[in-house]
Structure 1
Amino acid sequence: MEQVKEECCPTFHPEKWEEKTFNWDRKKFIKASAPTLFHIPLPPMIGKKVTKMMKLAEEAQKLSKDKEDILLLFMDPNAFKTEMHLSVIDTVPDAENTTLSGTFVSKVFDGPFNAVPKFMKQMDSYLDKSGEKAKNYYVHYAYCPKCAKEKGHNYMVLFAKVKE
């Protein structure tokens, strides 16, 4: 009897996110934060927080039906804290509900977590060509570490907020 393997992370399609502009007007998210050590996340804490956020959103049936549209954005306000924003379609009970607004430019990168600063510099160069400057960065990791290893890619989408 063949065992059906449940998909953990949906297949990522870079073309959907590569060099795109998104205008978000109070796009809904739920938010959580976790400590980091000089921007390095503490994996067990991140995993617990993400699992809790996903559970709250799933139980409330507030996740997009299209799994590829679900964003989990990470933003580090400082070297010792990361904020996680999980996109939802409406308010989630018992969660910290928030919104993001503004113009965001996205670009896809493939590489290790520790390459994020290098990718941000590449993104800054890309934005310079159009006269834009990032006010803030959010990072969406397309795959969890296990799926990244299985698929041979560690895709991430950098979202640069360029306008309020």
Structure 2
Amino acid sequence: MVQPTTTSNASNGSEHVVSPGCCAPFDPAEWDKDEITWNERPFLRESVRSFFHVPLDMRQKAKRGTRLVEAADAAPERGIILCEERSRWGANLYIEATRPIAGADMAFLSGTYLTKVYEGPYRDAPIWVQDMQTYVSSEGASAEKIYFWYTTCPRCAKAYGKNYVVLFAELSTRA
């Protein structure tokens, strides 16, 4: 297992955690309570098997999809991987790309999305969804779908000491 390295600043005694290698540090301020509009934004789609909402092959599917995007030279600077739960037995992953990829199962997301950042264990997801729905309502809107962006893998979240998850609420109506 790759361990994160730290650098110390002797003058003020602070420490800075350096990435363990796969996930870049995440700045929640960039994504908290933001509004994003996409028009046919390309994403490679992968299906994930779950058992009572616990993903069984998410890591493998995310790696496979990311490799396909990179091999097609279609990787954005910081790729977003959205997760949409279909049922307790499966979910879809949407791996951001800069353009369509020949032969891949592609989805093109369009619409306006409100985002909100959460931090904590994955078991808090139902609380986050309820809070997100309240936030969307307070903005005079309703959500058609809610997507999760797990900003780091579990290993990097542990290394950074924070498990940030961004919820994207696709707006269906707005007052």
Residues 55-88 of structure 1: CA distance to partner in whole angstroms, max 9, x if unpaired? 1111111001x22xx1100001111111000000
Higher relative contact order (CA 8 A, sep 6+): 1
Among 150, 154, 161, the alignment partner of 1:152 is 161
Residue 25 of structure 1 is matched in structure 2 by 39
Quick check: 1:61 aligned with 2:73? yes
Between the aligned partners of 1:122 and 1:92, the Cα distance in structure 2 is: 35
CA RMSD of aligned residues (A): 1.8
Unaligned runs of 5+ in 1: none
Residue 16 of structure 1 is matched in structure 2 by 30
Residue 48 of structure 1 is matched in structure 2 by 60
Identity of aligned residues (%): 29
Tell me if structure 2 keeps the 8 A contact 1:53–1:95: no
Task: Write the letter of the residue equivalent to 2:69.
Answer: A
Residue 9 of structure 2 is matched in structure 1 by none
Q: What SS is found at the alignment partner of 1:91?
A: coil
- How far residue 94 of structure 1 moved from its aligned partner, in angstroms, is 3.2
- How far residue 49 of structure 1 moved from its aligned partner, in angstroms, is 0.9
Q: CA, structure 1 residues 37+6, in 2 after alignment: closer, same or farther (shift >3 Å)?
A: closer
Aligned residues: 157
More displaced stretch, 5-14 vs 22-31: 5-14
Unaligned runs of 5+ in 2: 6-17
Among 69, 75, 80, the alignment partner of 1:71 is 80
Among 138, 147, 168, the alignment partner of 1:138 is 147
Say which one has the larger Rg.
2
Task: Write the letter of the residue equivalent to 1:47.
Answer: R
Structure with bigger strand share is 2
Task: Write the letter of the residue equivalent to 1:19.
Answer: K
- How far residue 144 of structure 1 moved from its aligned partner, in angstroms, is 0.2
Q: CA, structure 1 residues 94+121, in 2 after alignment: closer, same or farther (shift >3 Å)?
A: same
Between the aligned partners of 2:29 and 2:137, the Cα distance in structure 1 is: 21
| Over 3 Å off, 4+ runs | 3-6
Task: Write the letter of the residue equivalent to 1:40.
Answer: V
Structure with bigger helix share is 1
Tell me if structure 1 keeps the 8 A contact 2:20–2:159: no
Between the aligned partners of 1:83 and 1:94, the Cα distance in structure 2 is: 18
